[in-house]
Amino acid sequence: MKKQPQDDFIEILTDKYQLLSLDESDLIRELDLGCGVGSFTAALAQRYPERKIFAADVMIGRLRKLVKRNKRMDVNNMTILRVEARNLISYMFPDNSLDRIHFLCPDPWPKDRHRGHRVLVSDFTSQIHRVLKEDGVFHFASDDEDYYAMGNNALRMSGLFIEEVQHISDIADIKSDFEVRWLAEGKKVHHTAWRKIPRPAKSIGH
């Protein structure tokens, strides 16, 4: 793969299984998981310049477009990561490190034989819970009715989250690239938000 000038602004984490070293001075951190070309992420970063925004995707070409977009929009509070979503959440973010995760219009893998490729499945929910801060929020959107129902069911059944949509009202006007595309085609895109239920403190005990 030929190096492009934008690559200096992308951290390639593929195949690295180590904790990210985060800047302690970040007060609020948000992650766009599977950000694509990143209109949503860039608008989020521009709205909240005091926050650290992470944008992650496997496709380098999409991330390069995001680098160019950030330059055009003068966005300077974003870290761009090339990485597989499950590896990032399961191995690289420390416990209690993120305020919000946005998981927008993920690839739906509609065929039965491809369901295993879906990122949001029941055994992933505990890792999402682990990396969110105490009142952290998981923002999930999909145009695919089946994936939307399945994902929400996995979050509900985990017992680790409570559905509270008010935690995404501040960004209801920001649309992702795929959302814009689906809306133009007359499809509906559903959004919801799940707040982490903190685990009870361990009692010292008898």
Ligand X SMILES: C[S@@+](CC[C@H](N)C(=O)[O-])C[C@H]1O[C@@H](n2cnc3c(N)ncnc32)[C@H](O)[C@@H]1O
Cα 159 to Cα 75, 79, 120, 166, 198, distances in angstroms: 37, 31, 15, 19, 11
197 near ligand X (CB under 6 A): no
DSSP 65-109: HHHHHHHHHT--SEEEEE--HHHIIIIISPTT-EEEEEEES----
121 near ligand X (CB under 6 A): no
The two structure tokens encoding residue 174: 């920001």
Task: Pick the piece of the chain touching ligand X (CB under 6 A) from 46-54, 57-65, 122-130, 145-153.
Answer: 57-65
By CB under 6 A, name the one of 10, 13, 31, 35 that touches ligand X.
Answer: 35
We find the least distance from the C-beta atom of residue 82 to ligand X, in angstroms, to be 9
We find the least distance from the C-beta atom of residue 85 to ligand X, in angstroms, to be 3
We find the least distance from the C-beta atom of residue 197 to ligand X, in angstroms, to be 26
107: annotated active-site residue = yes
We find the least distance from the C-beta atom of residue 33 to ligand X, in angstroms, to be 7
Instruction: Closer to ligand X by CB, 28 or 59: give it.
Output: 59
Instruction: Closer to ligand X by CB, 99 or 179: give it.
Output: 179
In this structure, what is the dihedral angle of CA atoms 149, 153, 155, 160, given to the nearest 10 degrees?
Answer: 160
Q: How far apart are CA 177 and CA 1, in angstroms?
A: 26
* Strand (E) or helix (H) holding 182: helix 177-184
Query: Residues in the site for ligand X, rule: CB under 6 A?
Result: 34-36, 57-59, 62, 84-85, 104-107, 119, 176-179
